[in-house]
Structure 1
Amino acid sequence: MGVQGLFTFVEKHPRIYRDVRFRMSRLVIDGANLIHLLYFDSGLDQNHGGEYAAFEELIERFITALRDCGISPFVVLDGGSDYTDKKLETMMQRAVDRIKKAHRAAVEDSKKNVLPQLAKLMFRQTLARLEVPMAQCYAEADQEIAALANEWQCPVLSNDSDFYIFDLPGFLPISHFQWEAVEQSGSQSYIPCKKYNTSSFCIFFNLERQLLPTFAALAGNDYVKLQKMERPIDWTQFCPAGDGIPSHLEGLLCWLRDFHQPEKALEAALGLMRELSKKKKAEVLQGLYLGMQEYKLPSSALKRFFVHGAAPPFPTFEGVKGLVPDWTRLPLTQARLTSDILDVLLLQRNNLSLPVDHGDMPSINLTSTAAAPGDRVAGQLTLESLDQAESSQRLQVLLDALGVTEASLSRLPPQLRLPVAVTCYWLQRAQPCPDQSLLKVLLLGLSNGDALRQRAALQMQNERCKQKLSVSVGHAFNQWQACLKDGVYLNQLLGRPLEEPQIARLYEGTLVHDLVHRIRTGKLKQLLKYDRSRVKQYKSMLAIIHQFHSQKASTPASDNQETVTPPRRRRLPLGDLTANLQQLFLLCDDDEEAEMEVSSGVRAQEELHLGDLVSVKTRYRAKERNNRSKNPELARKEECRGDPVRW
């Protein structure tokens, strides 16, 4: 997790770096670090649930820049939490800090560097689509990244300060990696950047190289919190006099100059802790040695995976053996299976999503944790042999968990089946119950995809304004994303019985928030031209959701089957939508056709009462047949044009 303050400290001494023209090389990339820095440094919106399409395009440009310079990227991702729990205190404190940041971001509508929920999933999907070699570790990735780079004799790309300590062929800080400014030298392209070597650091501070891990351990690690002890060592006392503001890292480096071996330095450091008991000193010494071990480089466990596609063996630590099924190793390493499963199996807990949300609101994760697969099929399967189960069984477990049927999804294209099933689940479980405008906006985004995003982005750019974040709308969409993420992860565990949806095509935060505001204030403008295929897709999704709610309302729970009792169904509030309906349609160029569609839409607003779908449809269709018999020309035009979309 890095040496606190070391990155900033090194930045104050730029002579440690060397300017290089990086090209024609392998590059081991710290994936977790890259995700955060790319998203946060790009200026993309963080508070409305993520700008995934724009983030996807950014990742594509990054990979293209590398390949244009003959650079072969190998991305390594973090896995589960450390099974020894030695970093639990640090993780808990960082989770508390993220919750506070997320609350402040929601209240102030300001950027606090809170990563959107689906950004990591979308990052992995994009790399897979671009065929970028990628590996997910079983635990934290730093040591594996360093080991692989050491065996391949290539640099590491990251901003994690741990890589200032590992003895590597080279470390390229992302902050100085100018991938957006590719330059030419003759016929060769290169990326201007700065390179760090431990030898340069040690020469600059007159330090023996073997003392770097000792420096990191004494500066503070996840085993021993020296700075939090009752009487921590004041390293600033060893800073040269008159050398500006004293730094504890510089003071520690000055103190270490007198030593040549780590053991002697550690003994002397314990001597500075005179108030500690003998037993406590032994504990501190053990923690310091364990911290130093983190920087020893083993043989790479990922080299064989990248070359031959073979997953590394799972660690055989005490208490771990046999808890993780062998068949999961390869999909875990390929990042086709979320590493959350490791935390559940090894630690019986899971790290929950912490998006931008008001601290007084209930956790969004309560929505997605209310489901349980029915005993009918799930009870017949075991995790150890889940990969051998029939595909129909695995599909049924997923459908049971989401509360939908295979037949209800059959009319949809494969890529929309899981998102629509999740939306049905979300409408049933979300609290408070989402209103109709939220549902319409979600389905509009699902059905219209890129074209809608492009026109909306242009329109919002021209208007040069952004609506203030609505906490209630954000909370509802956060619940939907939590349901989608967990639905995708369950689908992965079950071997993808439904096609995994591409996140970048499903949701665009600033767009959906803007559309909700426009619907509610009657200011929605036309974003798309009429598209029969998209209209048909929208209507199919809406009909499925109507049917789902009708069945939930009319089907009693079985007496002999234990079920999860859903919250009481409430009719979605509609308000006076008549005026807005005239703006909601995807108008065609023909004014007469547009007028007819608007008229049909106003008549069809009754259909938005989900519980009354069947009776409303019957009445509407009878009325429509009557109108056609009285007006043959109208019937002819409707047949040529196709059914109008009814929101």
Structure 2
Amino acid sequence: MGVQGLTSLVDAHRRIYRDVQFRESRLVIDGCNLLYKLYFDFGLDQNHGGEYATFEVLIEKFVKALRECRISPYVVLDGGSDYTDKKLQTLTLRAKNRIKKAHQAAEGNQREGVLPQLVKLVFKQTLDRLEVPLAQCYGEADREIAALAREWRCPVLSQDSDFYIFDLPAGLLPLSDFRWDALKHSGSRSYIPCKNYTTSSFCIFFSVQQQLLPTFAALAGNDYVKLRIGSFSWAQFAPEGSGATSRLEGLLCWLRGFCRPQEAFEAALGLMGDLSSERKAELLKDLCLGMEEYQLPPCSLKKFFIHGSYDKGSKCPLSSSRWRLLDLLLLQRMSLTFPVGHAHLPSAHLVSRPLRQVMYGLLLGGGRQAGTQQLQNNYNYTTTTTTTQQTELHNTTTKLPPQAEPSQRLQVLLEALQVTEDSLSCLPPQLRLPVAVTCYWLQRAQPPPEKELLDALLLGLSTGPPPRPTEGKYPLRPERQLDVGVAHTFNQWQSCLMVSIQLNQLLGFPLPEPQISRLYEGTLVHQLVHQMRSEGKLRPFGKNSLSVKLYQSFQAVVQQFHTQKATASSETQKTAQQPRPVDDLTPSLQRLFLLNKDEEAATEASCSVRVQEDLGLGNLMSVRTRYRTKERNNRCRNPELARKEECRGWDLL
């Protein structure tokens, strides 16, 4: 949610805070706030595809600092969209703003607060490796975080202004004042110097009844309540010298004369001019709903975190991989990231669309209506721990039969990526998915990746991330002008990897999930491309024979893939019609639903195929076929140009 200007108001009156030496306590952490704070405040790359290895180190240092002070962290993340769509307008405006910022960052090579695509996945993977308890809610996590903090009587760590409204017994520790990187020591014990905020301190300072804080938030306006009240302004009630905070200070001064929310709402509507009775009723309803957002639900996270379980029917949190699947079933849409790139270029996510369509087909295999009804009956939350999500995922939301063999699930994944299991057999298990994604990307990316980009990517996969920083400081560094074309191509690769990881999760992890921070570094591959273009040669391996062998293995897989596709393309030109990609997946999809060979399974299988047709998968997935046909026609008209493109773009190795 968020109350605009509230953080600035409290920061303008620092006496509301009190200094504390925080140690030996539980701490409920707003995961999304922490993620953004760590990545942006330490000046990590935003425009060249991310500095994932350095971000991993920051997370490790943060957790280490907490544990040195005997602080037990519990991280809660936001999830998908609210099924009522009451915040859709706000989310749409935010999406437009992020696209604008991504374009501005690409044009001016400036930091515009754009998060690289795989940062959230690195965050989750690192916390999981460090055994930090982590939950992800279906929707916004604020109320669940506050309910747990109230239950445990421990503080919340966040920068979200809504936590200035929730009545938390141990208060809020604002992230901006949480000096985890400057530990202090008192005897043999360590502590983190920080500020503490409580609603009682706020209400005493502004002489307002504490029960009116949710009323104040609703009248001030948040993501759910947008009061359009013409020329009226609360600033008229503010004391002189209030400045930029006059609107909120004026509202607080006005509220001093009230004890009950309903009285305040009715009086506020009276100040807003001659409103019709219908308009008054509408505004009053919105205000009451906005205030209710601050009423805390029963705590459902405690049992989840302590015992790794939950009570059926409770509004418990999700594991980190499943909220997207619920978004698809309930809302028939999936939120995408906004990587840095020119707005006039096609979306980098177009290349991964066929993979998402495979997910849609699998999720709706039992029928859209049945899948949606199942979730609505058990809405609002489902739960599983990160350690058990692999075994539970396919037995619930995905509608896949639990008796499906791992080999069959693997076959669906590999056919979606259009690679074979034999071609990946020479690779370490952790690298099979990213290399398969690379083969898929080579075929789908537009424009086709140049040789330098492929080599840079394979070198990055082979050598791993650059040396990890040993100092605690990460200063802002000068950045080379962004090559927008290179950024767009690597954005497509990251999109393919992200969707492939989600599809792999959906299928029950037939391939190991790669550790992103040790696999891909956006700044590194951009640097390698620049060096190869400017110097012509690059020898990054030194005496690391393992990296050399990995690189050679990657080359062999890609070369084999390219040869097979070239042969298949030649054969296809001799046929009247090229098979659609969705047809290639049909046999494996049917095998998943025909394991028992009975009438019910057969009906489910045909339903799966019909759903694919209803969704228009064939039409959408045949874009590549039409593009190839157009490309062949162009080659016939200009064979010399075609020959040059072939040498430049596909003589990869």
> Match for residue 207 of structure 1?
208
Q: Please report how far the alpha carbon of residue 244 of structure 1 lies from its aligned counterpart in structure 2 after TM superposition.
A: 4.8
Is 1:356 paired with 2:340? yes
> Match for residue 161 of structure 2?
161
Radius of gyration: which is bigger? Answer: 1
> Match for residue 304 of structure 2?
305
Counterpart contact for 1:374–1:400, Cα < 8 Å = no
Give the SS at the match of 1:553.
helix
Distance 1:73 1:447 in 2: 34
Counterpart contact for 2:115–2:339, Cα < 8 Å = yes
Give the SS at the match of 1:180.
coil
Q: CA separation of 1:130/1:207 partners in 2, compared to 1, >3 Å: closer, same or farther? A: same
Distance 1:303 1:354 in 2: 34
> Match for residue 334 of structure 1?
319
Distance 1:314 1:526 in 2: 58
> Match for residue 235 of structure 2?
236
Count of residue pairs the alignment pairs up: 555
> Match for residue 369 of structure 1?
353
Give the SS at the match of 1:204.
helix
Which of 530, 534, 538 lines up with 2:543 in the alignment? Answer: 530
**Amino acid across the alignment from 1:181:** A
Which of 474, 480, 484 lines up with 1:471 in the alignment? Answer: 484
Q: CA separation of 1:482/1:533 partners in 2, compared to 1, >3 Å: closer, same or farther? A: same
Q: Please report how far the alpha carbon of residue 301 of structure 1 lies from its aligned counterpart in structure 2 after TM superposition.
A: 1.3
User: Higher mean Cα deviation, 66-75 or 277-286?
Assistant: 277-286
Distance 1:171 1:372 in 2: 40
Distance 2:8 2:454 in 1: 46
Counterpart contact for 2:143–2:294, Cα < 8 Å = yes
> Match for residue 562 of structure 1?
583
> Match for residue 258 of structure 1?
257
Give the SS at the match of 2:181.
helix
Q: CA separation of 1:479/1:201 partners in 2, compared to 1, >3 Å: closer, same or farther? A: same
Q: Please report how far the alpha carbon of residue 303 of structure 1 lies from its aligned counterpart in structure 2 after TM superposition.
A: 1.1
| Identity, % of aligned positions | 59
Q: CA separation of 1:186/1:11 partners in 2, compared to 1, >3 Å: closer, same or farther? A: same
Distance 2:364 2:261 in 1: 56
Give the SS at the match of 1:384.
coil
Q: CA separation of 1:406/1:610 partners in 2, compared to 1, >3 Å: closer, same or farther? A: farther
> Match for residue 170 of structure 1?
171
Q: CA separation of 1:315/1:553 partners in 2, compared to 1, >3 Å: closer, same or farther? A: farther
Which of 488, 495, 499 lines up with 2:508 in the alignment? Answer: 495
Distance 1:110 1:523 in 2: 29
Q: Please report how far the alpha carbon of residue 138 of structure 1 lies from its aligned counterpart in structure 2 after TM superposition.
A: 1.4
Counterpart contact for 1:373–1:398, Cα < 8 Å = no
Q: CA separation of 1:497/1:220 partners in 2, compared to 1, >3 Å: closer, same or farther? A: same
Distance 1:219 1:441 in 2: 51
Q: Please report how far the alpha carbon of residue 378 of structure 1 lies from its aligned counterpart in structure 2 after TM superposition.
A: 6.2
**Amino acid across the alignment from 2:296:** L
Give the SS at the match of 1:193.
strand
Q: CA separation of 1:367/1:212 partners in 2, compared to 1, >3 Å: closer, same or farther? A: same
Q: CA separation of 1:417/1:608 partners in 2, compared to 1, >3 Å: closer, same or farther? A: farther
Q: Please report how far the alpha carbon of residue 338 of structure 1 lies from its aligned counterpart in structure 2 after TM superposition.
A: 4.2
Counterpart contact for 2:2–2:223, Cα < 8 Å = no
Distance 2:262 2:469 in 1: 63
> Match for residue 414 of structure 2?
399
5+ residue gaps, structure 2: 367-397, 573-577, 585-620, 633-645
Distance 2:364 2:138 in 1: 28
- Render the CA deviation track for 1:391-415: whole Å, top value 9, x for unaligned: 1121111111111111111110001
- Render the CA deviation track for 1:582-607: whole Å, top value 9, x for unaligned: xxxxxxxxxxxxxxxxxxxxxxxxx9
User: Higher mean Cα deviation, 157-166 or 528-537?
Assistant: 528-537
> Match for residue 321 of structure 1?
none
Distance 2:144 2:581 in 1: 51
Counterpart contact for 2:434–2:514, Cα < 8 Å = yes
Q: How does 1:136-151 map to 2 (within 5 A)?
A: 136-151=136-151
> Match for residue 80 of structure 2?
80
Is 1:10 paired with 2:25? no
Q: CA separation of 1:119/1:267 partners in 2, compared to 1, >3 Å: closer, same or farther? A: same
Distance 1:80 1:372 in 2: 16
**Amino acid across the alignment from 1:215:** F
Q: CA separation of 1:372/1:282 partners in 2, compared to 1, >3 Å: closer, same or farther? A: closer
Q: How does 1:181-200 map to 2 (within 5 A)?
A: 181-200=182-201
Counterpart contact for 2:28–2:156, Cα < 8 Å = yes
Distance 1:312 1:519 in 2: 57
Counterpart contact for 2:54–2:469, Cα < 8 Å = no
Counterpart contact for 1:211–1:262, Cα < 8 Å = yes
**Amino acid across the alignment from 2:333:** R
Give the SS at the match of 2:464.
helix
> Match for residue 288 of structure 1?
287
Q: Please report how far the alpha carbon of residue 456 of structure 1 lies from its aligned counterpart in structure 2 after TM superposition.
A: 12
5+ residue gaps, structure 1: 317-328, 572-606, 614-646
**Amino acid across the alignment from 1:429:** R
Which of 420, 426, 450 lines up with 1:411 in the alignment? Answer: 426
Counterpart contact for 2:56–2:126, Cα < 8 Å = yes
User: Higher mean Cα deviation, 380-389 or 260-269?
Assistant: 380-389
Give the SS at the match of 1:194.
strand
> Match for residue 599 of structure 1?
none
> Match for residue 43 of structure 1?
43
> Match for residue 326 of structure 1?
none
Distance 1:11 1:561 in 2: 56
Q: How does 1:48-59 map to 2 (within 5 A)?
A: 48-59=48-59
User: Higher mean Cα deviation, 183-192 or 377-386?
Assistant: 377-386
Q: CA separation of 1:548/1:242 partners in 2, compared to 1, >3 Å: closer, same or farther? A: closer
- Render the CA deviation track for 1:496-517: whole Å, top value 9, x for unaligned: 1100000001221222111101
Q: How does 1:600-611 map to 2 (within 5 A)?
A: none
**Amino acid across the alignment from 1:5:** G
Distance 1:392 1:478 in 2: 30
Distance 1:90 1:610 in 2: 43
Is 1:23 paired with 2:27? no
Counterpart contact for 1:373–1:400, Cα < 8 Å = no
- Render the CA deviation track for 1:472-527: whole Å, top value 9, x for unaligned: 00000001000000010111111111000000012212221111011011265654
Q: Please report how far the alpha carbon of residue 134 of structure 1 lies from its aligned counterpart in structure 2 after TM superposition.
A: 0.5
Q: CA separation of 1:559/1:496 partners in 2, compared to 1, >3 Å: closer, same or farther? A: closer
Q: Which has the higher contact order (CA 8 A, sep 6+)?
A: 2
Q: CA separation of 1:418/1:120 partners in 2, compared to 1, >3 Å: closer, same or farther? A: same
Counterpart contact for 1:78–1:140, Cα < 8 Å = yes
Counterpart contact for 1:52–1:507, Cα < 8 Å = yes
Structural RMSD (CA) = 2.7
User: Higher mean Cα deviation, 1-10 or 199-208?
Assistant: 1-10
Distance 2:189 2:217 in 1: 39
Distance 1:501 1:235 in 2: 53
Q: CA separation of 1:465/1:215 partners in 2, compared to 1, >3 Å: closer, same or farther? A: closer
> Match for residue 448 of structure 1?
463
**Amino acid across the alignment from 1:190:** Y
Q: Please report how far the alpha carbon of residue 448 of structure 1 lies from its aligned counterpart in structure 2 after TM superposition.
A: 1.0
Q: CA separation of 1:378/1:404 partners in 2, compared to 1, >3 Å: closer, same or farther? A: farther
Counterpart contact for 1:387–1:494, Cα < 8 Å = no
Counterpart contact for 1:302–1:312, Cα < 8 Å = no
Q: CA separation of 1:387/1:281 partners in 2, compared to 1, >3 Å: closer, same or farther? A: farther
Q: How does 1:509-520 map to 2 (within 5 A)?
A: 509-520=522-533
Q: CA separation of 1:559/1:171 partners in 2, compared to 1, >3 Å: closer, same or farther? A: closer
Counterpart contact for 2:450–2:648, Cα < 8 Å = no
> Match for residue 180 of structure 1?
181
